[in-house]
Amino acid sequence: MILRPHSFLRLYSSTAGNGLKILRTISEVRAWRRTALESSQDVSLVPTMGALHSGHEALVQAAKSLTDKTIVSIFVNPSQFAPTEDLDQYPRTLDSDLELLTRLGADAVFVPSVEDLYPSGIPLDQSRQVGAFVTVQGLSEQLEGQVRPQFFRGVATVVTKLLNIVEPERVLFGQKDAQQCVVVKRLVKDLHINSVVHVVPTVREASGLALSSRNAYLTEQVRQDAAVIYAGLNQGLELYRSGETNPELIINRIKDTIKTKFNDIEYVTVSDLETLQDIKGKIWPIKGALISLAVRVPNQFGDQTRLIDNILL
């Protein structure tokens, strides 16, 4: 049986060791926020789905260096999962997450219930959903959006809710989810949300594999083989640095490298950094570009896990 975060929380008092405030409800967060405001302390928010790893650690550390107070949200957001995806299987490790946040010196953690964040309910089948949702058109349909059509609507919706609840001066995301960063920046701009978005570099294993909560699904062998993904991205970068500006040739080099270990490459794309549209013909060094990819690798459940990664040119 999978215990949902809010049922776990009944076991905890409102303060874990070292002063980490555990906030369960929206009104508790608003009261905490008001106290910070009244004492002229600015706040960073680090939104997460838990199963925290060193990538999240880097986000919390960056947040602590930016503002007086840091609040982390832990919420496995149903609306960004399709009915066929891994919502139930998604790792939930609240005990160790709270320990890590205490050790890092985060000030508060917001662990809301699904019912609180989605007062109109949230069936996974999008055609049955009612209520308010946020879409960032033009940036959500390509790349990850092609394979996960409801993903960015779910992310944009929950991030908007969290920003409305916490009203942080700053909000931090990891570069590993590059499209998510672009989508969130646009939603903050277009909806006039009064928070600055910060993007923190991807944290990697020694092999180069980007850290992800879903790496927990992999066997040790696949985890080692998956180093080939970042190696491929770096070969693309090297080719570009040696003067190659044709995206197709760069993409082919990356695919060839990855295919030495994995055949199921969903996409490798060279895109414009702002519009996320494919760059055709030539990469202009003055504009730069984003190479992003998704690869399906075998997992320990006899199924496949999608790994995503990216690099900036």
Mark 248-287 with x for binding to ligand PAF (rule: CB under 6 A) and - for no binding: ----------------------------------------
Q: Find the DSSP H helices in the chain.
A: 5-9, 26-38, 54-66, 94-104, 114-117, 144-147, 151-166, 178-190, 220-225, 227-241, 247-258
**CB 57 → ligand PAF: shortest distance, Å?**
14
**CB 113 → ligand PAF: shortest distance, Å?**
15
In the bound state with ligand PAF, the residue whose beta carbon lies nearer, of 124 and 231, is: 124
**CB 144 → ligand PAF: shortest distance, Å?**
10
198 annotated active-site: no
Mark 136-165 with x for binding to ligand PAF (rule: CB under 6 A) and - for no binding: -------------------x--xx------
In the bound state with ligand PAF, the residue whose beta carbon lies nearer, of 48 and 257, is: 48
Give exposure, 66-83, as e/b (b: 16+ Cβ within 10 Å). bbebbbbbbbbbbbbbbe
Catalytic choice (6, 53, 56, 192): 56
Judged by DSSP in three states, 198 sits in: strand
Judged by DSSP in three states, 46 sits in: strand
Give exposure, 194-206, as e/b (b: 16+ Cβ within 10 Å). ebebbbbebbbbe
In the bound state with ligand PAF, the residue whose beta carbon lies nearer, of 47 and 232, is: 47
Query: Angle CA(102)–CA(75)–CA(129) in degrees, nearest 5?
Result: 170
Contact 79, 118 (CB under 8 A): yes
Query: Within 172-191, which residues bind ligand PAF (CB under 6 A)?
Result: 177, 180
**CB 251 → ligand PAF: shortest distance, Å?**
25
How many residues form the binding site for ligand PAF (CB under 6 A)? Answer: 10
Q: CB neighbours (10 Å) of residue 253?
A: 19
Query: Within 192-251, which residues bind ligand PAF (CB under 6 A)?
Result: none
In the bound state with ligand PAF, the residue whose beta carbon lies nearer, of 93 and 257, is: 93
In the bound state with ligand PAF, the residue whose beta carbon lies nearer, of 161 and 253, is: 161
Distance CA 111, CA 12 (A): 12
CA 160 to chain centre: 14
Distance CA 62, CA 66 (A): 6
In the bound state with ligand PAF, the residue whose beta carbon lies nearer, of 122 and 155, is: 155
Taking the C-alpha atoms of 26, 32, 33 and 34 in order, what is their torsion angle to the nearest 10 degrees? 110
Query: Within 32-91, which residues bind ligand PAF (CB under 6 A)?
Result: 47-49, 77, 80
**CB 308 → ligand PAF: shortest distance, Å?**
11
Distance CA 299, CA 296 (A): 9
**CB 155 → ligand PAF: shortest distance, Å?**
5
Write out the catalytic residue numbers.
56
What residues make contact with ligand PAF under the rule CB under 6 A?
Answer: 47-49, 77, 80, 155, 158-159, 177, 180
